């Protein structure tokens, strides 16, 4: 396993459940367990992928790391800090180090803000000129030209929007980026470009990725380690090479077969 | 459902209490004095003081409030009208039936008219007929009821003399037979109901049209048509039923608007209902009557909201009753 | 400014949007330019010309005191439209603030605020207005304030519902992840995206406010002389509605046309600002 000093994220016995309002006249509240006592560790600088079908609980884990979903039990430690024991000011500072990139870039960009404001909000520099320089360099780092500064999201193409989202995630100089299905809403040709961009960013900056995906092709390109989730639990965790060459759990084998990445034995 | 209704009525009690209490203090703190009506400028302050004492207005406000509240809760005693010395509760109870009659007849007329025009308009969506009905609805949606009342009164009562334009019955009402009496009431109610009904119909008509258009474009209607069901069946069994559900819920919440509409119509046609009583009481600072009327007005709104919620739950079983959000 | 132009041109495309824009612009113009546009002094009495029907010198006739109806209506636009705008403005401010706070903060704040909204919605509005406005000698300001203070609840409900939806959008999550303060997010990320619904409700509310004010003034409870709203002017025609038909008809038309204007504009704004159609065009 990993060296504990090099850990950036440690999740222990995390459980997440949702209330579903039942149907019927009086309705019955049912509790649905989305994540069931999951533990995992992510090392600094690696790309850790959680794969699974929709409803497996992988997005719930991502949302609780980002602080949008309150877990029923368990702890999440980031840089050895328990995220649930921070006060609101500490939490806001820590949050800047964990940034999300969402699947649907359309809903991830405020339609009423220009590109400059969207990126500017993530930059903690008060000097206007410096801020603008930083904004332009962010745009360049994701392959967008400075001409976009005054544009609104709806004037951008799908691929450009996702690049903008990545730039925004980079703005506060985070240590961990959570990629929630980062390319699955994109056309195939754009997917390749975005994936290449993500690999490049990873190489130049010392950033850790937590990749949430159902697409094993994406996982194979980006990930170092893989955890397979099914119905709220992790059924298999291994290195990327081992997972793709020699999956142990039957469910992993099934996933690989369905994606056409290995032949049925 | 009964248990729910009772619980809702109990939770509405604070609204009633708070609202009525607030009204009590608002009317006392507003300028104007009930003694004004008995006074001419030449009257001595002594007489004014005597009148003030007679009505119990010289006590501190909180004391007056406690006395009033105690009498209402324990004895259902709202005090006597300053204007004519009658029991305030009796003044209201005498007027209430006329308002209820006017409101319910107008509601019936308005809903029927709104329903028919809304459904027809939706079936003809996009055609000239649709535009004509929509314009008609928009016009009456924008017409003040007092204006329509005045115009109808001027044309049908004053100029043509076809219908009576004031009071609820004629002077020789008592000498009429039973059916004659009903006919007499009816002729006096035609113009008021027409006025109130025509100005409430667009509220429902516009609503029915938009929900009917939505339903008619929905997947299950399209598939019902594809299955070869007759147009009649599609429209009535599938379309109308689903379009009607939301209408039920707005019926109850439109009670207050209906009530305020009735006030104006009653004043125009000099009907002896709540509207007339409320306007006179407000102008004359007749505190006991104002307070009795306000209790009735609050109860009307509470019942309206309750009916809306029940209607909503009955119409759409997915809505969980008791869910506050 | 650019956005405003685009909005106008979108509204102009539909017939109802065009009519709404023209009518609203016309009435705003009348209200603003009253001293320049009215042919006579609206309060100057002329006892020789009492209750005279429309003529070339007095297009809409004169009232019981010989005052020119057209001039009175043009000045009345200031009062009626002014009260409509003022009270709707107050209602929008109150309603948006409450709706935003309730929908954004949720939890206990939401429960308490919505309880208050439900409580106030349970008030018989017209009756309270009759009492408050009727018992005082209401100025234009008081009338507008009371109307606004009693009419913000519907807007609060609409705004709250929208805010709850917007709050779940990923751009709000992204902003939270950037460590922005809740106030910053509420005002810069959530509120601007609810503005469409606010504008629509506000426009429709202006019409409703004009109507309620006219009803109050017609009953003699509203604005007091020398100020006159359209309702006050109509009140003069009530004694002999057909004998002095020009009073009721012209004042009524002013009310009806302005209401049609604001209602059409509101309906068209709803079509244009509907988030569903807005997203589709991008």
Q: Cα(A36)–Cα(A217) distance, rounded to whole angstroms?
A: 27
Please report whether residue B51 resides in a domain.
no
- Subunits with 3+ Cβ pairs within 8 Å of C are A, B
Contact B147 C132 (CB under 8 A): no
Q: How far is Cα B198 from Cα B191, in angstroms, rounded to an integer?
A: 10
CATH code of the domain covering residue B128: 1.10.3720.10
| Rounded CA separation B290/A37 (Å) | 65
Contacts of A26 in chain B (CB under 8 A): 320-321
For residue range A22-52, list pLDDT tens digits in order.
444 444 566 788 898 999 999 999 999 999 8
Burial of B73-88, coded b for 16+ CB within 10 Å and e otherwise, reads eeeeebbbbbbeeebb
pLDDT tens for residues A12-24?
999 998 876 544 4
Residue of B nearest to C217 (CA): B146
**Does A23 contact B318 at a Cβ distance shorter than 8 Å?**
yes
Distance to chain A for B320, nearest Cα, Å:
6
User: Mean pLDDT per segment of 10 residues, for chain C of length 282 residues?
Assistant: 80 89 93 81 74 74 77 88 94 95 91 85 76 71 88 92 90 92 92 89 91 86 77 76 78 91 90 57 34
Domain range for residue B149? 88-283
How are beta strands A47-51 and A225-230 bridged, if at all? parallel
Asked if the structure places residue C36 within a domain, the reply is no
In a domain? residue B33: no
Give B-chain residues touching C143 at CB under 8 angstroms.
none
Given this model, what pLDDT does residue B36 score?
Answer: 62
Scan residues 81-140 of B and list those with Cβ closer than 8 Å to C: 138-139
User: In a structure prediction context, what are the per-residue pLDDT tens digits for chain B, which is 325 residues long?
Assistant: 677 778 777 877 887 888 888 888 877 776 666 666 555 555 566 666 776 776 667 777 888 888 888 888 887 787 878 777 788 888 888 888 888 889 889 999 999 999 899 888 888 888 898 889 989 999 998 998 888 888 888 888 777 777 777 777 666 667 767 777 777 777 778 889 999 999 988 888 888 888 888 888 777 777 777 777 777 777 777 777 777 777 776 776 777 778 778 888 988 888 888 888 888 887 777 888 888 888 888 888 788 777 777 776 666 555 444 443 3
Asked if residue A129 belongs to a domain, the reply is yes
Residue C241, domain extent? 69-272
Pairwise CA distance, residues A99 & A166, whole Å: 9
| A28 touches B at CB < 8 Å | no
User: Which chain C residues are closer than 8 Å to A109 by Cβ?
Assistant: 171
In a domain, C245, yes or no: yes
pLDDT on residue A137: 93
Domain that holds residue A141: 106-171
**pLDDT average, residue stretch A220-227:** 92
**Residues of chain C found within 8 Å of residue A122, distances taken between Cβ atoms:** 178
For chain C, count helices (H), then strands (E): 14, 0
Listing DSSP states for B214-262 in one string gives: HHHTSHHHHHHHHTT--HHHIIIIIIIHHHHHHHHHHHHHTHHHHHHHH
Let me know if residue A228 belongs to a domain: no
A20 touching chain B per CB within 8 A = no
Is residue C125 less than 8 Å (CB to CB) from chain B?
yes
Question: Hey, is the C-beta of B306 within 8 angstroms of any chain C C-beta?
Answer: no
DSSP string covering C174-233, please?
A: HHHHTT--HHHIIIIIIHHHHHHHHHHHHHHHHHHHHHHHHHHHHTT-SSPTTS--HHHH
Tell me, yes or no, whether B268 lies in a domain.
Answer: yes
Structural domain total, chain B: 1
Task: Please judge whether B317 and A27 are an interchain contact, meaning their C-beta atoms are less than 8 angstroms apart.
Answer: no
Q: DSSP 3-state helix, strand, coil percentages of chain A (rounded to 5)?
A: 40, 25, 35
* DSSP reduced 3-state for C1: coil
**Structure token pair of residue B288:** 């006991």
pLDDT at B27: 79
Q: Bridge partners of C260? A: none
- Sheet with A7-21, side-by-side order of all strands: A29-43, A7-21, A73-78, A81-82
pLDDT at C241: 65
Does the distance separating the beta carbons of C178 and A172 come in below 8 Å?
yes
Q: Is residue C40 part of a domain?
A: no
pLDDT at B33: 67
* A107/C171 CB distance under 8 A: yes
* B195 domain residue, yes or no: yes
Query: What pLDDT was estimated at residue A21?
Result: 55
| Count of pairs with CB atoms under 8 A, one residue in A, one in C | 63
Specify whether the CB–CB gap between A50 and A79 falls below 8 A.
Answer: no
Number of domains in chain C: 1
pLDDT tens digit sequence for A195-218: 999 999 988 888 999 999 988 889
d(CA A229, CA A54): 10
Name the pLDDT band for A171 (thresholds 50, 70, 90): very high
Beta carbons of B147 and C248 less than 8 Å apart: yes
What DSSP designation does C68 have? B
Query: Closest approach of chain C CAs to the CA of B260, in angstroms?
Result: 6
Whether residue A131 has pLDDT greater than 60: yes
Taking Cα atoms as reference points, which of A35, A34, A31 lies closest to residue A14? A35
Q: Which strands sit side by side in the sheet containing A225-230, from one edge to the other? A: A98-101, A176-180, A208-213, A47-51, A225-230, A233-239
Q: How many domains does chain A have?
A: 1
Q: Is B143 at the interface with chain C, CB within 8 A? A: yes
- Nearest-CA residue of chain B relative to C207? B142
Chain C contact for B17 (CB, 8 A cutoff): no
Cα distance between residue B73 and residue C112, in whole Å: 28
Chain A: list its partners (3+ Cβ pairs within 8 Å): B, C
Phi and psi at A229, nearest 5°, equal: -110, 145
Does the residue C12 lie in any domain?
no
CATH code, domain carrying C103: 1.10.3720.10
Share of chain A above pLDDT 90, in %: 47
Residue B61 domain flag: no
Question: Could you read off the pLDDT of C38-50 as tens digits, one per residue?
Answer: 777 777 777 777 7
- Answer for the pair B261, B200: CB distance below 8 angstroms, yes or no: yes
B14 reaches A (C-beta below 8 A): no
């Amino acid at each position: 396993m990993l060296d504990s000093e090099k850990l950036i994220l440690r999740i222990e016995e995390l459980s997440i459940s949702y209330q579903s309002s039942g149907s019927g006249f009086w309705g019955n509240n049912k509790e649905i367990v989305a994540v069931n006592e999951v533990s995992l560790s992510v090392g600094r600088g690696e790309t850790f992928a959680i794969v699974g079908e929709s409803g497996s609980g992988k997005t719930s884990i991502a949302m609780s790391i980002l602080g949008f979903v309150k877990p029923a039990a368990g702890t999440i430690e980031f840089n050895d800090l328990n995220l649930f024991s921070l006060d609101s000011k500490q939490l806001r500072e820590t949050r800047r180090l964990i940034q999300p990139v969402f699947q649907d870039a359309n809903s991830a960009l405020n339609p009423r803000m220009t590109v400059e404001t969207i990126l500017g909000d993530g930059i903690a520099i008060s000097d206007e000129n410096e801020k603008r320089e930083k904004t332009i360099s962010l745009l360049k780092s994701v392959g967008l030209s400075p001409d976009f500064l005054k544009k609104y999201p709806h004037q951008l193409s799908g691929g450009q929007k996702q690049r903008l989202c990545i730039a925004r995630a980079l703005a506060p100089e985070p240590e961990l980026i959570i990629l929630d299905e980062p390319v699955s809403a994109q056309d195939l040709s754009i997917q390749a470009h975005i994936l290449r961009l993500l690999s490049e960013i990873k190489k130049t900056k010392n950033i850790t990725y937590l990749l949430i995906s159902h697409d094993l092709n994406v996982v194979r390109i980006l990930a170092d380690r893989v955890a397979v989730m099914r119905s709220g639990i992790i059924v298999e965790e291994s290195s990327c090479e081992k997972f793709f060459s020699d999956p142990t759990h039957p469910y992993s084998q099934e996933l690989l077969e369905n994606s056409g990445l290995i032949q049925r034995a | 459902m009964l248990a729910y209704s009772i619980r809702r009525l109990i939770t509405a009690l604070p609204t009633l209490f708070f609202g009525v209490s607030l009204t009590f203090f608002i009317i006392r703190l507003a300028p104007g004095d009930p003694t004004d009506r008995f006074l001419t400028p030449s009257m001595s302050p002594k007489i004014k003081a005597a009148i003030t004492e007679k009505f119990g207005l010289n006590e501190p406000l909180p004391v007056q409030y406690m006395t009033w509240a105690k009498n209402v809760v324990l004895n259902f005693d709202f005090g006597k009208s300053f204007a004519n010395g009658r029991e305030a509760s009796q003044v209201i109870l005498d007027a209430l039936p006329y308002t209820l009659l006017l409101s319910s007849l107008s509601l019936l007329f308005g809903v029927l008219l709104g329903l028919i025009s809304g459904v027809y308009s939706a079936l003809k969506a996009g055609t000239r007929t649709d535009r004509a009905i929509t314009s008609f609805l928009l016009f009456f949606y924008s017409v003040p009821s007092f204006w329509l009342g005045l115009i109808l009164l001027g044309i049908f009562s004053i100029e043509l003399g076809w219908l009576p334009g004031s009071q609820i019955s004629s002077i020789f009402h008592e000498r009429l037979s039973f059916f004659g009496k009903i006919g007499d009431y009816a002729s006096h109610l035609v113009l008021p109901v027409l006025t109130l009904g025509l100005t409430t119909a667009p509220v429902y008509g516009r609503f029915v049209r938009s929900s009917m258009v939505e339903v008619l474009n929905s997947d299950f209607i399209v598939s019902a048509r594809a299955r070869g069901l007759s147009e009649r069946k599609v429209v009535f069994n599938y379309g109308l039923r689903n379009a009607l559900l939301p209408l039920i819920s707005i019926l109850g919440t439109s009670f207050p608007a209906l009530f305020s509409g009735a006030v104006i119509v009653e004043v125009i046609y000099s009907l002896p209902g709540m509207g007339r009583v409320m306007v006179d009481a407000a102008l004359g600072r007749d505190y006991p009557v104002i307070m009795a009327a306000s209790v009735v007005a609050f109860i009307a709104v509470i019942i309206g909201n309750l009916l809306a919620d029940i209607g909503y739950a009955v119409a759409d079983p997915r809505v969980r009753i008791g869910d506050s959000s | 400014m650019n956005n405003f132009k685009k909005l106008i041109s979108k509204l102009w495309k539909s017939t109802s949007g065009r009519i709404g824009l023209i009518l609203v612009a016309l009435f705003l113009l009348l209200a603003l330019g009253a001293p320049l546009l009215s042919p006579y002094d609206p309060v100057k009495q002329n006892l020789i010309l009492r209750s005279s029907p429309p003529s070339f010198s007095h297009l809409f006739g004169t009232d019981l005191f010989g005052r020119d109806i057209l001039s009175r209506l043009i000045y009345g636009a200031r009062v009626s439209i002014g009260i409509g705008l003022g009270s709707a403005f107050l209602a929008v401010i109150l309603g948006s603030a409450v709706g935003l706070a309730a929908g954004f903060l949720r939890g206990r704040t939401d429960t308490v605020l919505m309880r208050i909204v439900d409580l106030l919605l349970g008030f018989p509005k017209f009756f309270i207005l009759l009492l408050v406005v009727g018992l005082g000698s209401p100025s234009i300001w008081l009338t507008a304030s009371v109307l606004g203070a009693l009419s913000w609840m519907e807007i609060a409900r609409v705004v709250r519902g929208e805010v709850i939806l917007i709050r779940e959008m990923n751009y709000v999550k992204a902003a939270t992840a950037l460590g922005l303060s809740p106030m910053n997010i509420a005002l810069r990320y959530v509120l601007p995206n609810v503005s469409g619904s606010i504008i629509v409700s506000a426009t429709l509310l202006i019409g409703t406010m004009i109507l309620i004010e006219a009803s109050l003034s017609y009953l003699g409870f509203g604005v007091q002389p020398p100020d006159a709203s359209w309702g006050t002017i109509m009140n003069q025609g009530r004694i002999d509605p057909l004998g002095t038909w020009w009073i009721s008809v012209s004042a009524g038309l002013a009310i009806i046309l302005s209401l049609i204007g604001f209602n059409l504009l509101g309906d068209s704004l709803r079509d244009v600002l509907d988030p569903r159609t807005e997203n589709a065009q991008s």
